[in-house]
Amino acid sequence: MQTIMKLEKKQRHKQEHEYPFFTFKALSKNEFRRLSELVESRIGIRMPESKKIMLESRLHKRLRALGFTSFPQYCDYLFSDEGFNKELHHFFDVITTNKTDFFREPVHFEQLVNYILPELINRDQKIKKKLNFWSAGCATGEEPYSLAMVLHDFSKRQIDFRFSIYATDISTQVLEKAELGIYNQDKIEPVPTRFKNKYLLRSKDRSKRLVRVAPQIRSLVQFKRLNLMDRNFSLPHEMDVIFCRNVIIYFERPTQELLIGKFYKCLRMGGYLFLGHSETLCGMPIPLVTALPTIYKKIG
């Protein structure tokens, strides 16, 4: 019996040493309130009570990395001057959702090539202007790289077609992954075969099952950290097309309207905003009209 008790005690000690999050007490209501208010005020994302367990789980990694033993200790640090300067972006990294895929909602890319690009090119034919594209909330890069493949392919058939792609996200972690352009083979399943053959490079070590976006495509995308709640986006150009798909669903209605208003200001007259299939501008007092399902055009 004593031997069993010793073994159980040894195992508990091992767990506490190797997995210190087992000993963390749950976030208090006050701590959760402070953190959820910070998230909504700084990056606009709703954080209802139902997200409390998710928030606790995601913060375990940061507590272990910083050597903290409790959520109150972490909160005190985060809300200190030093914490705001050093920890805030790490905090946003772990709590933001970064779900994305190559060629997600593929009909958007078909409509871009078949309808929108010809119209924009015809509009600017006399001045031969470069078209500017923005992937807002680009996560690990699948969307802007999908866009780059489509536009590069289109440029081979369209004389004098020039473009730039600007891709932003609030998470520094996902931007680092995006710039590398390295993905598991499972992630590239939605990529059309002809694009896989032209624009994706397989690892020499086939056992790793990794692919990398070709340099000619990576070089077309400029990645930068940007918080969509910032007052001034400081974009390098007016945009002709903005992709912000499956992002505003995480925001409350007033925040959605505020963000769409900012996108409106960033678009050139006649430019287009692409939203996700579950998102809509219905009822928003902003002069963007439906051009195609979940694609909106600036008209005034």
Where in the sequence numbering do the catalytic residues fall?
A: 58, 169
Q: How many CA atoms lie within 13 A of 149 on its CB side?
A: 25
Residues facing residue 166 across a β-bridge: 134, 222
Q: Which two tokens stand for residue 279?
A: 């998102």
Residues 61 and 74 sit within 8 Å (Cβ to Cβ): no
Query: For residue 135, which amino acid is it?
Result: S
Which residues lie below 8 Å from residue 104, measured CB to CB, with a gap of 6+?
A: 142, 143, 146, 190, 245, 246
| Angstrom distance (rounded) from CA 76 to CA 55 | 17
167 CB neighbour count, 10 Å cutoff: 26
Q: What is 108-145 written as a DSSP string?
A: HHHHIIIIIHHHHHHHTTTTTPPEEEEEET-TTTHHHH
What are the strands, taking DSSP E only, across 130-265? Answer: 131-136, 163-169, 182-184, 200-202, 210-213, 221-225, 239-243
Within 200-252, where are the H helices?
215-218
CA torsion sign, 152 to 157 to 159 to 161?
A: negative
Whole-Å CA distances, 93 to 46, 169, 292:
15, 10, 33
